[in-house]
Chain A
Amino acid sequence: MSASAPASVKDASTPTPPLRRGAPARIRKLAAQGPLFTAAVLVLVLLVLLAVCAPLLAPYEPDAIDLKNSLAGTGPDHWLGTDQSGRDILSRMLYGARTGLLGPLAVVGVSTVLGIAMGVVAAWRGGWVDSLLSRSMDLLFAFPAMLLAILCVAVFGAGLTAPVIAMMIAYTPYVGRLVRSIARQEQTRPYIESYRVQGWSGWSICTRHLIPNITPTVLAQSAINFGYALMELAGLSYLGFGVQAPTADWGVMVSEGQNPLLKDVMLPALAPATAIVIAVVAFGIVGEGLADRVSKRER
């Protein structure tokens, strides 16, 4: 610092690092992850936009029955045709995206928050607290999610709520275990230990330093979980345990599309099934990409 910088040709003396990166730089960083990742992110953004704007975009009411127009093919009136009851498939798809995303959002949101809380407490406190939390997570883990969901339906009745609650319970130990293992590693890092030496309370260290630093890894996993939750919820709806007909939902739509399939009309089942696959794959790619970024940063 004492020696002045040489009269250099490039910009004056030393490079001045920006304090924090702005949003445009972040977007460029994300794009650098590769075209597949970028495409997956775009797909997800589009999906969310479509779901949010469904009432504006949908040409028909999703439940508007028009029996005269049953199983109409694609055309200018119905871009994706109609189903057995003559409902516009495009409109139902758009509205279906809302329930399709809302369910997993609740599942992933709650399981991530609970999982982080349980995992961090287990890792930080150690001892009997850790044993207790770990054992209870193991117990939940051993319970098949589907079985749990069916149990919940038996208790709460069919609908979106029961499977979502079941999934929250099923996914929490999954996140909790992951968080516990990375938090245990993270808390032995000197930067966390130096906060302890400085005299901070465990609560401030965990909330202000430990959790923010492990969050990227957890979010990467949550993105992948989102895809799984979407698929499983759709599966439950398909089986009739989840969202009930006639509500527009991809799982319900696939189920209702089975009959037309027998008459060689593909779209009523194919369109929602494709949407499910695309969403699940996109979430998977984004999750993997995020995990990749985190591990690169770790180096």
Chain B
Amino acid sequence: MSTSTEPTPVALEVRGLCRTFGDHKAVDDVGFTLPPGGSLGIVGESGSGKTTTARMLVGLETPDAGSITVDGHERAHRPRTRAERLARAREIQMVFQDPYLSLDPRITVHDSIDEVLRLHAPEADRPGRAARLAELLDQVGLGTREAGALPRRLSGGQRQRVAIARALAASPRVLILDEAVAALDVSIQAQILDLLARIRREQGIGYLFVSHDLAVVRHITDDVVVLRNGRIVESGRTADVLSAPQHPYTRLLIDSVPGVGWDPERIAENRRALAAPEA
């Protein structure tokens, strides 16, 4: 996309991010960049620090060290004013893993999206908001019937669509999806992946796709970083990393995906072998 003379544009840049819980380094010197409209996967096993990284990016967790910039704006310190808080929210939004817990059970789909619009575009009048709301619902494939419903009346896939629509309502530059399709059935998961790919094509929004499912990551991301015990062990183009992994840990993750020739005993052995030298 970019010409060779100017530097590649960057939507999100993360450098030297660290977070320690007690004496456990959950995230250790993590850095990566995301071009505008790009899609970056963060993969790694459970406890590797994926969620902690994502939470630091959206400000739910405070980093011990490191910098996070979106379009050149640093966001390491806590927002002080309301305007700053809202500007932050328009930089990065997040969709959580569990669609059953990420919506207020008392608030209808319509209201939960409308309140975001009210917060972020208070100048818009009622018809303007209604139009934007209809557009968002349409984008994620929800009808008016679902719009009037409380979350408990919706399936997991429908709730996840609501969560996506709500995140998009703030028109963020970057959307973090933390295991956003992990709780869904494959047929619904494929619908959501399809939807995400379309939204990215149409809106040029950047994705940070957190997952331990490499098969999903392969289809939705351009680049990938592999986390292990809070550190990045490998990064590169998704296709390259998955077809020619350099680090044995990446190799292990790839082998772990069930498929032809899947051998759980060997995977367990490799995992132990990989863990042994450090212990």
Contact = CB atoms under 8 A, between A and B. Distances in A.
Direct contact between A and B judged by beta carbons closer than 8 A: yes
Interface of A: 1-2, 14, 16-17, 19-20, 189-191, 193-201, 209, 212-213
Nearest to A189: B101
A191 B150 CA distance: 14
B48 interface: no
- Scoring A16, A20, A190, A197 by chain B CB atoms within 10 A of each residue's CB, the highest score goes to A197
Contact of A199 (B85, B108, B149): B85
Interface of B: 58-60, 82, 85-86, 88-90, 92-94, 96-98, 101-108, 116, 119-120, 141-143, 145, 148-150, 153, 163, 166-167, 170
A192 to B, nearest CB: 8
Contacts of B142: 1
A280 B216 CA distance: 58
A267 to B, nearest CB: 49
Contact of A213 (B96, B105, B119, B163): B105
Contact of A197 (B94, B105, B108): B94
A294 to B, nearest CB: 12
Given A1-B142, A194-B163, A201-B85, A20 B101 contact: no
A245 B96 CA distance: 62
18 contacts: A1-B143, A2-B141, A19-B148, A20-B150, A190-B96, A190-B101, A190-B102, A191-B101, A191-B102, A191-B103, A194-B167, A197-B89, A197-B94, A198-B120, A199-B86, A199-B120, A201-B85, A209-B106
A197 B153 contact: no
Given A19-B108, A209-B104, A193 B96 contact: yes
Given A191-B105, A197-B93, A199-B89, 16 more contacts: A16-B145, A17-B153, A19-B108, A20-B108, A20-B150, A189-B101, A190-B96, A191-B101, A191-B104, A194-B96, A194-B102, A194-B167, A196-B59, A198-B89, A198-B166, A198-B170
Given A189-B101, A190-B96, A191-B104, A196 B88 contact: no
Contacts of B104: 191, 195, 209, 213
A227 B131 CA distance: 51
Contacts of B116: 198
Q: In the A-B complex, list the 6 residue pairs whose CB atoms are closest, starting with the nearest.
A: A199-B89, A190-B96, A190-B102, A17-B153, A199-B86, A199-B85
Nearest to A215: B106
A19 B59 CA distance: 34
Contacts of B166: 194, 198
Contacts of B105: 191, 213
A74 to B, nearest CB: 51
A81 B254 CA distance: 87
A199 B101 contact: no
A196 B62 CA distance: 14
